[in-house]
Chains A and B, each alone.
Chain A
Amino acid sequence: AQSVTQPDIHITVSEGASLELRCNYSYGATPYLFWYVQSPGQGLQLLLKYFSGDTLVQGIKGFEAEFKRSQSSFNLRKPSVHWSDAAEYFCAVGSYSGTYKYIFGTGTRLKVLA
């Protein structure tokens, strides 16, 4: 069965420090992978997505993610975190069964220290 694992429930980093959020997936075929951010009281915003091609994907707000098939991973990175990046981050895999259902990971809550 398809699944997404985000091993880190909480992560705290200092402003200006680098960030890496982990995501591992289980999917039989080539996956469609997504990273979303959810700020308090707001909907999910797409940061970036991977369908095919270059395994290093650039997204909005300075985020990037790298697809590693051998490790079944799609980790999200940012070289320098800003206080406004504090939010909940969700990794998702698109599972096709007539339509593209999303399977979400449990999320990682990012706290940024000033």
Chain B
Amino acid sequence: GAVVSQHPSWVICKSGTSVKIECRSLDFQATTMFWYRQFPKQSLMLMATSNEGSKATYEQGVEKDKFLINHASLTLSTLTVTSAHPEDSSFYICSAESGRLAGDPEQFFGPGTRLTVL
């Protein structure tokens, strides 16, 4: 199956700093990637849809200036948490879509990034 990686797998930062998380599709090209946030023992909440070469589409209630998304190539999307605060601590998961043109769309998920803001 298709492989999606995330880097870093975990990060600890100080309040007020910015953190960048990378999501890469390793063996396929993805025009669409997604960013999710998962709180402890809860479900995945879609934050935004990242489209290669265009602006991301954010879900209602997600601050676009807080969570900057860049999808500069067909294999890389980045999420930057700007001016991070403790309430931004969470597990961030990305996914990359494949197979839509073939009529069999599926998202492949990265292993996630644990962000802790002190």
Contact = CB atoms under 8 A, between A and B. Distances in A.
Interface of A: 32, 36, 41-46, 49, 51, 90, 94, 99-107, 109
A46 B112 contact: no
Contacts of A42: 111
Contacts of A103: 46
Contacts, number: 49
17 contacts: A36-B109, A42-B111, A43-B4, A44-B44, A44-B109, A90-B43, A99-B32, A99-B49, A99-B51, A100-B97, A100-B105, A101-B46, A102-B44, A103-B46, A104-B43, A106-B43, A109-B41
A49 B106 contact: yes
A75 B1 CA distance: 24
Contacts of B34: 101-102
B44 A90 contact: yes
B113 to A, nearest CB: 11
Interface in B21-55: 32, 34, 41-44, 46, 49, 51
A45 B108 CA distance: 8
Interface residues of B, number: 24
B104 interface: yes
Given A43-B93, A101-B34, A51 B104 contact: yes
Nearest to B103: A51
The 4 closest A-B pairs by CB, nearest first: A43-B111, A44-B109, A43-B109, A106-B43
Given A106-B42, A106-B43, A99 B93 contact: no
Nearest to A32: B105
Nearest to B1: A46
Contacts of B49: 99, 101
Given A43-B93, A43-B112, A105 B43 contact: yes
